[in-house]
Amino acid sequence: MTALLEVSHLVKDFAAHGSLFRKGPVTRAVDDVTFSIETGETFGLVGESGSGKTTTGRCLLRLIEPTSGEVRFRNENVLSMSPRELRRTRRHLQMVFQDPYSSLDPRMRAGASVAEPLVIHRIGNRQARDARVATLFDLVGLPADAAARYPHEFSGGQRQRIGLARALALEPSLLVLDEPVSALDVSVQAQVVNLLLDLQQRLGLTYLFIAHDLRLVRQICSRVAVMYRGRIVELGLAERLFDAPAHGYTRALLTAIPRLDVTGRLDRVEYDDASFERLPLREVAAGHWAAV
Amino acid sequence: MTPPATAPATSQPVHAAAPLLAVEDLTTVFRLADGREAPAVDGVSFTIASGETLGLVGESGSGKSVTALSIVRLVRPPGRIASGRVVIDGRNVFDLDERKMRDIRGRRIGFVFQEPMVALDPVYTIGAQIEETLAVHSLARGAAARRRVVELLDAVRIPRPDERADAYPHQLSGGLRQRAMIALALSAEPALVIADEPTTALDVTVQAEILDLLRDMRRAFNLSLLLITHDLGVVAGMADRVAVMYAGRIVEQAPTAEVLHTPAHPYTRGLLASMPGARPGTRLEAIAGTVPPIGSLPIGCAFAPRCPQRFEACDERPPITSASPGHDVRCFLYSGTSA
């Protein structure tokens, strides 16, 4: 297997507002994060709010500039790219956001939103772009006449399909999916998850799936990294990590998931934040790493 | 002695005594942009016994929150309670004047909402808000009220309750804010708490803590709980009985274990099957289509257009029948079994 994306020692500091002559205190949102994503896999990045998972995803595409570290996409260093090289690379590396309501321009027809990346990258003429939009709508399961409608005319699930069509316009190889279905009802969520699985098979896509819903991560991810306070505390094959978690925080997270088969109080493991240490990952079993 | 021909009275279910709350054929309508009125809640009936927890489950637009607001008469225009009764303490709340109604809110029925930042007033400290509730219901004033505030914050396990009483809502974490709202809801010692998606905005570890807290409070205060949620996992751990709503109607109502293990309505079955996590690496069993918008419901069964088991009868509105004793379902698949 080959790594499509390699992230090494990624760091992102946010400075709080200070005064003119003194910088404010620095918050390390992403703290020495290292992982790689293999071609064709779905890699899950999980954690609770403030864990740094979303900031990590944005740093990979340089939607936020990381403070230090390395991001290699097809063995090219994304962080040292010129704006021109970066634009070229972003064709292959696209992001899908959580909120289909705010990620689409409300004044733009759905067809124009999906065609916009093609216009920006000066791909095809008007006719070719219209044909491509029609193909994309078909691919994500939207009717052809949807292209002429505005975002508010669609349901949440349909808007997320438009967001996907837009992300797929430039034929990317890696999609960073940031909570792509967490705003959707469970029955609609299942439809969009199935669409993601279908698209992955048909187009040979690789996914970085950022999510807080561990049941969903268990369902679709091949490997999973758990983030806590900006650091990866555990990383491994999904079934291994879910069945035999090695880090105390992972155990707390997994035992807090509501279960259909448990009535009454969950038998939870609690994690004491005071016991957290910034330890390096070590291999606790084949392909299973934990900061213990 | 020969046994009596009829079943003895002791075989009645334990909750057969007058329920704490009875919602009877409640219909709440909303005026649409075109001037028509359409039901958001359509003939909903359920009861909650003293100390019982009912889980009201549904997706967005199912009418579960409007049901909760209707119970305490907080439906705002363009919504309107059109018909039905809500009986608590033997009185229909729709017959009460506004002063008596305010007494019911807080004193008999407490509220916990999804977003504490909406329910808590940002310009008053947590302590001041609880003290006001105590004063409104003439429960305590002055130093006694302050002592009660600290007791309540301690009861919901807010660390350093004496200091936290003087905190403003924005100074607390999401989990602490939700605890403060639970303290506020319990301050006038209600018999029933309506909790509308109380953990939906929280991280999973915080959610588990808040659910544990609600369980403890339920026992300590002998509370009845109407727990509104979209998450069947939350219901599994909390509710004695479950009512599943779809497009304004309750389509299934039964003890929790029955709903989870032998669901009767095709919608409930679809909802359970679409939940992720059961079989890793596989596609999910999605329910086709989407919830029809209010005002565009079919005349018959509202779920029929999405139902894999629909047949001719579904063009008419299904009655409530029993799939088994105590297990109600609104579906023609069961209309032959009982009336």
Q: What is the pLDDT of residues B77-111, one digit of tens each?
A: 999 999 999 999 899 999 999 999 999 998 999 99
Q: What is the pLDDT of residue B335?
A: 86
pLDDT of A202 reads: 96
Nearest to B205 among A188, A256, A263 (CB): A256
> What are B151's two structure tokens?
């007791």
What is each CA distance from B174 to A27, A30, B113, B181, B237, in whole angstroms? 20, 22, 12, 11, 22
Strand order in the sheet with A76-77: A26-38, A3-15, A68-73, A76-77
Cα A196 to chain centroid distance, Å, stands at: 13
β-pairing, B91-92 vs B79-88, is: antiparallel
Dihedrals phi, psi of B182, to nearest 5 degrees: -65, -40
Sign of dihedral through CA atoms A275, A279, A284, A289? positive
- Portion 63-122 of B in contact with A at CB < 8 A: none
Can you list the residues of chain B whose pLDDT is less than 50?
Answer: 1-15, 337-339
Let me know: does A147 contact A179? Beta carbons within 8 Å.
no
Distance CA A149, CA A140 (A): 16
Strands A42-46, A68-73: pairing is unpaired
Q: pLDDT tens, A258-279? A: 999 888 889 999 999 999 999 9
pTM of this prediction? 0.91
B21-31 and A282-285 as β-strands: parallel, antiparallel, unpaired?
A: unpaired
Report the complex ipTM: 0.90
For chain A, the residues whose C-beta falls within 8 A of a C-beta of chain B are 48-49, 155, 157, 185-191, 193-194, 197, 212-216, 218-220, 238-239, 252-253, 256-266, 268, 271
Residues B252/B259, Cβ–Cβ less than 8 Å = yes
Start-to-end CA distance of chain B, whole Å, equals: 34
Q: How far apart are the C-alpha atoms of B327 and B250, rounded to whole Å?
A: 12
Which is it for strands A174-178 and A206-211: parallel, antiparallel or unpaired?
A: parallel
Write the DSSP assignment of B278-308 as a string of letters. SSTTS---PPSS-PPPTT---SS-TTGGG-T
From the list B59, B234, B275, the residue facing A215 with the nearest CB is B275
pLDDT per residue as tens digits for the range A217-259? 999 999 999 999 999 999 999 999 999 999 999 999 999 999 9
Sign of the alpha-carbon dihedral angle for B123, B126, B129, B132: negative
The verdict on B270 touching A (C-beta cutoff 8 Å) is yes
- State mean pLDDT over A189-212: 96
Say what the pLDDT of residue B16 is. 53
- Which residues of chain A have a CB within 8 Å of the CB of B212? 265
Q: Which of B204, B275, B282 is the closest to A48 by Cβ? A: B204
